[in-house]
A and B are shown apart, each in its own frame.
Chain A
Amino acid sequence: MAVERYLLPPDGADWRSLDAYRRAGGYEAAQRALQGLAPEAVIEEVKASGLRGRGGAGFSTGQKWSFMPKPGGPKPTFIACNGDESEPGTFKDRQIVERNPHLLVEGLIITAHAIGARAAYVYLRGEYVTGFRTLVTAVDEARAAGLLGSRHCGIEREFDVHVMRGAGAYICGEETGMIESAEGKKGQPRKRPPFPAVYGLWGCPTTVNNVETISQVPAIIRKGAAWFKSIGTPTSTGNTLYGISGHVNRPGVYELPLGTPLREIIEVHAGGVRNGKRLKAIIPGGVSMPVLSAEQVDVRMDHESLKQAGTLLGTGGIVVIDETACMVRAAIVIARFFRHESCGQCTQCREGTAWLYKLLRRIESGQGSLADLETIDQVGGYMEGQTICALSDAAAWAATGFLRRFRSEFEAHVHGKGCPLPESFEP
Chain B
Amino acid sequence: MSEPSHTLSDSVKQAILAEVPKYPEPRSALLMALHFVQAEIGHVPLAVQREIAALLGLRPIEVREVVTFYPMYHEHPVGKRNIQVCVNIACALAGARKVVRGLEERLGVRVGERTPDGAYSIEEVQCLGSCGTAVCVQVNNEPFIENVRPDRVDDLLRTVG
Contact = CB atoms under 8 A, between A and B. Distances in A.
Chain A, interface size: which category? 35 or more
B138 A127 contact: yes
A287 B58 CA distance: 37
Contacts, number: 152
B18 to A, nearest CB: 12
Q: Which of B35, B66, B89, B94 has the most CB of A within 10 A?
A: B89
A333 B88 contact: yes
Chain B, interface size: which category? 35 or more
Nearest to B100: A426
Given A168-B71, A253-B132, A319 B90 contact: yes
Interface stretch (A13-21, A101-109, A239-247): A239-247
A71 interface: no
Contacts of B25: 183-184, 202
Given A167-B73, A334-B89, A184 B132 contact: no
B132 A252 contact: yes
Contact of B31 (A91, A164, A247): A164
Interface string B57-77: 010001001100111110000
B129 A426 contact: no
Nearest to A202: B24
Contacts of A168: 70-72, 125
Interface in B127-157: 127-134, 138, 141-144
Nearest to A171: B69
A166 B87 CA distance: 20
A136 B57 CA distance: 27
Contacts of A245: 90, 131-132, 134
A365 to B, nearest CB: 15
Given A127-B129, A182-B28, A165 B69 contact: no
Interface of B: 22-25, 27-32, 34-35, 56, 58, 62, 65-66, 69-73, 87-90, 92-95, 97-98, 125-134, 138, 141-144
16 contacts: A89-B89, A90-B129, A91-B130, A91-B131, A162-B22, A166-B70, A167-B71, A168-B125, A183-B28, A202-B23, A243-B132, A244-B132, A253-B132, A325-B93, A330-B92, A333-B92
